[in-house]
Amino acid sequence: MEKNTKKFVMILFIAFMAAVLAACGNKSATENEAEAGTGEEGLKIAIVTSPSGVDDGSFNEDNYNGILSFIENHPTATVKAVKEETGDPAAAVQAVADIVADYDVIVTPGFQFAGVSSLAVENPDKIFILNDSEPAPVGDQKDFENIYAMNFAEQESGFFAGMAAALETKTNKVAVVNGIAYPSNVNYQFGFESGVNYANAVFGKNVEVVELSGYSGTDVNGTDVGGNYAGSFADPATGKVVGNALIEKGADIIFVAAGGTGNGVFTAVKEAKEDVKVIGVDVDQFGEGVNGSENIVLTSAVKFMAMNIEKALNSVVDGSFKGGNVVLHADTDSTGFIKDEGRHQLSEDTLNKMNEAYELVKDGTIVPASNFNGHTPEKFPGL
């Protein structure tokens, strides 16, 4: 009798386990997706940058901060920062190739990373987030399911820098310093020149944009775009030389769009005996403008990159990630200038005029010139 009882209990146990296994095997698609989503929160992220690295106080650092913000909300995610030391496009792609097998998502800020599209084709299970570049075509393919390429309308942010400079200058001479004539950097330059021309035409100003001999830029199409190009995003010494030369020419407001090279311009302005201001770029650089009891930063022309990097990473986790090439404008609050109290030194009149212009940029009435939009700083919609 005892033996039969044990046998009966064993049969019940087997039946119970079979039911459990069947229930597990019949999970809904939604339940399985939820489990997959939980696993994705442990994303292994790499960011590969130009020689100025993730602590450049500007472009690269803001991209990195977007990743750090994502990790704050997804603590199991990790990030590795890799600095490519040359800035050469072939070397940049190789730097990504060297690490691609070890990470789920690779973030690449900079035009020199366009060629990672070939790696995306070879690694369809990896996700690439590009900033400041569209992926280079692979054969006839221009869009890639595993590449989200974001570009920003830098000409819009540059436009506000130009307006601010033209409305606040006392010498009627202003300037912009750039790194390399990649499209994004030329956009800043052309936008700045557009903003100066707008202030001249609409508000009766007579402001000159100063250019130095020997520092003209050549864009990716081989076109001479003028400007003041240092030839690097990681050369503070040359940045200081250019900054000093512009100050000697009478420029009292300098828009600095040169990555780590711009640190040298900041130094030149801080050491200047004249009353000179800079306009920061990409991020709010008011903190870098502290100079004793003073601050040399007038305002900063910004791209809200961290916010958009974090959005892209969130889409990977929640399963809504979609590859594509996008350009982000003021209408998504992705471009603009710093106007938060205590983070700028714009007059109330200047701020009012810039706010009015912002709405015109946002609705498309003003379309500042960019490297490739067919407009020039001397002739663009809204001027």
**Amino acid in position 28:** S
Say yes or no: domain 37-152 is CATH 3.40.50.150: no
Angle between helices 183-203 and 154-168 (to 10 degrees): 40
Q: Which of 211, 205, 290 is nearest to 255 (CA)?
A: 211
CB atoms within 10 A of CB 21: 10
Do 195 and 175 contact (CB within 8 A), yes or no? Answer: no
Instruction: Report pLDDT digits (tens) over 48-73.
Output: 998 889 988 788 999 999 999 999 99
Say whether pTM exceeds 0.95.
no
DSSP 138: B
Say how far apart CA 43 and CA 104 lie, in whole Å: 6
Say how far apart CA 50 and CA 56 lie, in whole Å: 10
244 Cβ partners below 8 Å, 6+ apart? 268, 272
Say how far apart CA 293 and CA 315 lie, in whole Å: 44
- CATH dotted code for 154-303+347-362: 3.40.50.2300
DSSP 85: S
Q: What does the pLDDT average to over 213-219?
A: 97
Q: Given this model, what pLDDT does residue 58 score?
A: 80
Say how far apart CA 198 and CA 220 lie, in whole Å: 27
DSSP 257: E
Q: Given this model, what pLDDT does residue 38 score?
A: 34
Say how far apart CA 326 and CA 338 lie, in whole Å: 23
Instruction: Report pLDDT digits (tens) over 21-42.
Output: 344 433 333 333 333 333 445 9
Q: Which helix (H) or strand (E) holds 188?
A: helix 183-203
For 102, left (φ over 0), alpha (ψ -120 to 50), or beta? alpha
Domain with CATH 3.40.50.2300 in the chain: 37-152, 154-303+347-362
Confidence of residue 260 (pLDDT cuts 50, 70, 90): confident
Residue 15 has pLDDT above 80, yes or no: no
Average pLDDT value over all residues in the chain: 90
Instruction: Report pLDDT digits (tens) over 117-128.
Output: 999 999 999 999
